[in-house]
Amino acid sequence: MISEFRLTRRVQFHETDAAGIVHFSCFFRYMEEAEHGLWRAAGLSIAPPDAPVGFPRVASSFEFQRPLRFEDEFEVLLQVTRKSTRSLSYRATITKDGDVAARGALTIACVAKEAGQPMRSTPIPPDIASRFAVAREAAPEAPPAPAGAEGRR
């Protein structure tokens, strides 16, 4: 069973914006890249060809503390924070040189995929669910605040 994954990554130029920093939408992509790394480390692909189930994103959030810039090297620590019959939740902590740049959260649900049908919630198949465990050691600091909370700067 696996409960966390560390991705080391460098900021690419196309991820920056005219403010000279990584566009905030890219942090959600970084978190997802780490998630897919977690699944590969668990011996799985989150989207194999012709899979009978899929894992759409149900909710996601980020709090941004320090900007990242072109060519910065950073780390994404992704940890499983909750596992239920039909969904998985993760926390992402993005750091650069040991300082937190951003903290994110992501919840995904399992759905049955039938051609031409709307997505339908379904339990996570046991051979997938059995690979993941909730991380025992939480990240040292508090989890992301509610999305509507005021920025702290």
Active site residues: 17
Q: Which is nearer to a second copy, 67 or 135 (CB)?
A: 67
H-helix segments, 14-107: 24-41
Q: Whole-angstrom Cα distance, residue 105 to residue 127?
A: 24
Q: Which is nearer to a second copy, 82 or 130 (CB)?
A: 82
H-helix segments, the chain: 24-41, 126-129
Q: Which is nearer to a second copy, 47 or 133 (CB)?
A: 47
* Binding region for a second copy (CB under 8 A) out of 72-80, 93-101, 109-117, 127-135: 109-117
Provide the 10 A C-beta neighbour count for residue 35: 23
Q: Whole-angstrom Cα distance, residue 46 to residue 115?
A: 18
- Residues of span 10-69 touching a second copy by CB under 8 A: 12-14, 16-21, 23-26, 28-29, 32-33, 36, 40, 45-47, 49-50, 54, 56-64, 67, 69
Closest CA to 110 of 32, 59, 60, 56: 56
Indicate which single residue of 84, 97, 125, 133 sits in contact with a second copy (rule: CB under 8 A): 84
79 Cβ neighbours under 8 A, 6+ residues apart: 3, 4, 90, 91, 92, 93, 135, 138, 139
Written as six digits, the tokens of 90 are 């993760």
Residue at 127: amino acid letter: D
112 binds a second copy (CB under 8 A): no
**How many residues sit close enough to a second copy to count as binding (CB under 8 A)?**
66
Positions touching a second copy (CB under 8 A) are 12-14, 16-21, 23-26, 28-29, 32-33, 36, 40, 45-47, 49-50, 54, 56-64, 67, 69-71, 81-82, 84, 86-87, 89, 91, 104-105, 107-109, 111, 115-116, 119, 121, 143-153
